[in-house]
Structure 1
């Protein structure tokens, strides 16, 4: 059991104390827990970031206290946008992270969750714009390990979620080819199963495309914001992963991948 997408109270959208998350992980019998709290620069003119020194200090403390029970890693979910690549790169390269998820939460400088990105635009246009910005970012940014919830845009709009992702085959293929060539990966994110979407991110067809193109690096993450959601939906996600042709998942330490047989 490995959960590589976990939030705590260091994220603006979570109130979960790290200690509670760690203890719940141990009770589940998890082998590794990677905290990946949010940092998003320049969202509607604001930065959503945490005190990394305090973050590392607390994680290192729990690493020592619970060293015989669980491996705890220092990760981050970094929000990317085309106009802040240099700032993101400088930030990541200056910190001792074990693992970095790269996520596109903002498109056309509008927060997918709270701003009006979906107004006055068709679902197809919204999906295309999202993938175009994601393509630009993976072409020009390398300081990360996996792309987070590649089709996240489906989670924030019901009409977009109705669209078959394979309609954007060319965009997805280009993104995955760049990711694979740069020795990066993607994640299976089970968070959508807990919300109205009732599916993982990305969907089976998108996972299969990534695998067919030669993709091997893939992590598992619950996208939990409270301890009760750790590893939620994993049984289903493992079945989908196997069906897509994967035999391994990936873990990380010091930004280096390690493959673990399913």
Structure 2
């Protein structure tokens, strides 16, 4: 299994500007510089996700195309945490009609409109249809009791799509560590991401994940 990012890089971060983070993009970037990070990818929730949650965005997404990092030398990318919508494999991968430069495809129970018993097939169909634009499969080990993880991992591997080891869901209140280990046992490659919605999660999330990988012999 190949780990695609270092502990100084995070490919799954949220902001208050474009979804449900608690901090602005500029606040996150400034703080990231203070803790020595090298790269952040803002993968805020998709348009469907924001609408379902009743989130009123504070900024036009088009403004991100003009945004420049004036705070430090961290590389900043604007992506989208795309939503799996149904068993046909339809996805929403935009915010206000604008696509992202890095796409994480995730299943969120409150957004998905298909039959839960068909979630595995939904992922297979989405991967088959959209593999050219999907950069990672998000937190497969969360909300996963109706998902055949090994089948989804097999299809992701087939198209060289990395899996996300989402450190937020190492918390047993939210995720299933056993299913995370199952995913890790077969994944060809992974990103280790914080899924940070706060500054403290940006600081501590990936460390918990990398510590877990070391303690369990993955590194």
Query: Which TM bucket (shorter chain)?
Result: 0.7 to 0.9
Cross-structure match for 1:131: 120
Cross-structure match for 2:151: 174
Which residue of 74, 98, 105 maps to 1:102?
A: 105
Cross-structure match for 1:55: 64
Q: Kindly state the Cα deviation for residue 38 of structure 1 after the two structures are TM-superposed.
A: 0.7
Residues in 1 aligned to 2:204 and 2:91: alpha-carbon distance in whole angstroms:
33
Aligned pairs, number: 207
Report the CA distance shift for 1:49/1:149 in structure 2 as closer, same or farther (over 3 A).
farther
Q: Kindly state the Cα deviation for residue 98 of structure 1 after the two structures are TM-superposed.
A: 2.8
TM-score by length of 1: 0.64
The answer on whether the counterparts of 1:193 and 1:200 sit within 8 Å (CA) in structure 2 is: yes
The answer on whether the counterparts of 2:166 and 2:193 sit within 8 Å (CA) in structure 1 is: yes
Give the alignment's Cα RMSD to 1 decimal.
3.6
Report the CA distance shift for 1:200/1:49 in structure 2 as closer, same or farther (over 3 A).
farther
Cross-structure match for 2:137: 147
Q: Kindly state the Cα deviation for residue 83 of structure 1 after the two structures are TM-superposed.
A: 6.5
Q: Secondary structure at the match of 1:233?
A: helix
Q: Does 1:203 align with 2:180?
A: yes
Residues in 2 aligned to 1:86 and 1:199: alpha-carbon distance in whole angstroms:
26
Q: Kindly state the Cα deviation for residue 199 of structure 1 after the two structures are TM-superposed.
A: 6.2
TM-score by length of 2: 0.75
Query: What are the ranges of 5 or more consecutive residues in structure 2 without an aligned counterpart?
Result: 1-7
The answer on whether the counterparts of 2:142 and 2:174 sit within 8 Å (CA) in structure 1 is: no
Residues in 2 aligned to 1:102 and 1:204: alpha-carbon distance in whole angstroms:
20
Residues in 2 aligned to 1:76 and 1:49: alpha-carbon distance in whole angstroms:
16
Query: What are the ranges of 5 or more consecutive residues in structure 1 without an aligned counterpart?
Result: 111-116, 118-125, 155-159, 248-262
